[in-house]
Amino acid sequence: MDISVIVPLFNEDESLPHLAEWITRVMTEHKFSYEVIMVDDGSKDKSWEVIENLSKENPAYKGVKFRRNYGKSAALNVGFTHAQGDVVITMDADLQDSPDEIPELYRMIKEDGYDLVSGWKKKRYDSKLAKNLPSKLFNATTRKMSGIKLHDFNCGLKAYRKDVVKSIEVYGEMHRYIPVIAKWAGFTKIGEKVVQHRKREFGVTKFGLDRFINGYLDLFSIMFISKFSKKPMHFFGLIGSVFFLLGLISVIVLGVQKLIALSNQVPMRLITDSPYFYLALLCIVLGTLLFVTGFLAELMGRNSPTRNTYLIEKELLGDDKEEK
């Protein structure tokens, strides 16, 4: 199979028929073998009914429905699990991503040899104050910290080599950082393509300004996990050792000063009366706690398998289209 298109969605029943018609037309014109996996992230409208009808009309359309809303990362992760195409394309369901971009994205993966190609919505129709300016700041910070030269990390329109989506795990709100996750997994040939940004025709946006605050927190999380998930003692142990040594040296210095004063019969207050003693004690306690945290993190990492569990209500997968 040439292409798997993964469409995460939440309350998009009005746009789905138009998106499906558009995708089908593009695939037919370019004679691609394809599948479209629509992941309903707990929609409360008629989105699943639309997916069922699309699946009956065209066997290439498949669906997964969550019992509740888990978020875009969960939807993408499940879609990646079921994808069978050599190239995997992700796009949003709100018609702001153009399926006409698919052939060129496919070519960049297959012919140019990219592992991942991310869309760049260079010209946007969003409010500059509400979305454009925060997005530029967010992308600049991510470029600096990750070393990946992309202009739009959060663009939903991306193309992946199949090996990439089968080698990474997306959880929490980490869909913004799939290029970073892919890079840390060893897929370093990451490209970018300027893509069309279209105005939303139906419904309302599902994202608020809080995504930028959460975005920065997730960025620090992914950078930490990428570097230290397999060796947490290297992080906690190092910092803990520094604190412990600072505290220990401070206590020794205070003790030596006290002994020198006593040997010279010079009056000196008790060590416990000095504020430096308590600062030194605090450093020792913090160092010990951080060191123990490192040990516990190592034990948890070695003995607790990492997995995500999502409660799936319905599925339309496979050639027989049986609903589970």
| 102: Cβ contacts below 8 Å, ≥ 6 apart | 3, 5, 23, 26, 27, 30, 32, 89, 159
| 262: Cβ contacts below 8 Å, ≥ 6 apart | 268
Crossing angle between the packed helical segments 210-228 and 133-146, to the nearest 10 degrees: 10
For 294-314, what is each residue's pLDDT tens digit? Answer: 888 777 766 655 555 667 777
Residues 107, 75, 41, 130: what is their CA dihedral angle, to the nearest 10 degrees?
-70
pLDDT on residue 127: 55
Query: What does the alpha-carbon distance between residue 146 and residue 215 come to, in Å, rounded to a whole number?
Result: 14
Query: What does the alpha-carbon distance between residue 315 and residue 63 come to, in Å, rounded to a whole number?
Result: 6
Domains identified in the chain, total number: 2
Residue 263 and residue 129 share a domain: no
Residue 279 and residue 189 share a domain: no
For residue 91, what are the domain limits?
Answer: 3-229
Tens-binned pLDDT, residue by residue, of the chain (324 aa): 999 999 999 999 999 999 999 999 999 999 999 999 999 999 999 999 999 999 999 999 999 999 999 999 999 999 999 999 999 999 999 999 999 999 999 999 999 999 999 999 887 665 555 556 667 777 888 888 888 999 988 899 999 999 999 999 887 778 888 998 899 889 999 999 999 887 766 656 655 556 566 666 666 776 676 667 667 888 888 899 999 999 999 989 888 888 888 888 878 778 778 888 889 999 999 999 998 888 887 777 666 555 556 677 778 886 544 444
Residue 156 and residue 140 share a domain: yes
Among 181, 201, 229, give the residue marking a domain's end: 229
pLDDT on residue 200: 64
Residue 265 and residue 212 share a domain: no
Residue 43 and residue 10 share a domain: yes
Residue 110 and residue 237 share a domain: no
Kindly state whether residue 317 falls inside one of the protein's structural domains.
no
With 0.85 as the threshold, say if the pTM is over it.
Answer: no
> DSSP labels for 209-251?
THHHHHHHHHHHHHHHHHHHTT-HHHHHHHHHHHHHHHHHHHH
Kindly state whether residue 76 falls inside one of the protein's structural domains.
yes
Kindly state whether residue 91 falls inside one of the protein's structural domains.
yes
Query: What does the alpha-carbon distance between residue 285 and residue 145 come to, in Å, rounded to a whole number?
Result: 32
Query: What does the alpha-carbon distance between residue 218 and residue 211 come to, in Å, rounded to a whole number?
Result: 10
Write the CA distances from 169 to 116, 306, 307, integer angstroms: 15, 10, 9
Among 229, 252, 273, give the residue marking a domain's end: 229
Residue 289 and residue 149 share a domain: no
Residue 238 and residue 201 share a domain: no
Residue 241 and residue 118 share a domain: no
pLDDT on residue 30: 96
Kindly state whether residue 318 falls inside one of the protein's structural domains.
no
Kindly state whether residue 289 falls inside one of the protein's structural domains.
yes
Structure tokens at 221: 């999380």
Kindly state whether residue 315 falls inside one of the protein's structural domains.
no
Among 199, 229, 259, give the residue marking a domain's end: 229
| 116 in Cβ contact with 162 (< 8 Å) | no
Residue 246 and residue 203 share a domain: no
E strand or H helix that includes residue 312: strand 312-316
Query: What does the alpha-carbon distance between residue 109 and residue 305 come to, in Å, rounded to a whole number?
Result: 32
Kindly state whether residue 293 falls inside one of the protein's structural domains.
yes
Residue 183 and residue 268 share a domain: no
Exposure b/e, 95-104, CB count within 10 A at least 16 = b: bbbbbebbee
Kindly state whether residue 308 falls inside one of the protein's structural domains.
no
SS3 295: helix
Here the CATH number for the domain that contains residue 39 is: 3.90.550.10
Q: How many CB atoms lie within 10 A of CB 184?
A: 18
For 94-146, what is each residue's pLDDT tens digit? Answer: 999 999 999 999 999 999 999 999 999 887 665 555 556 667 777 888 888 88
Residue 13 and residue 62 share a domain: yes
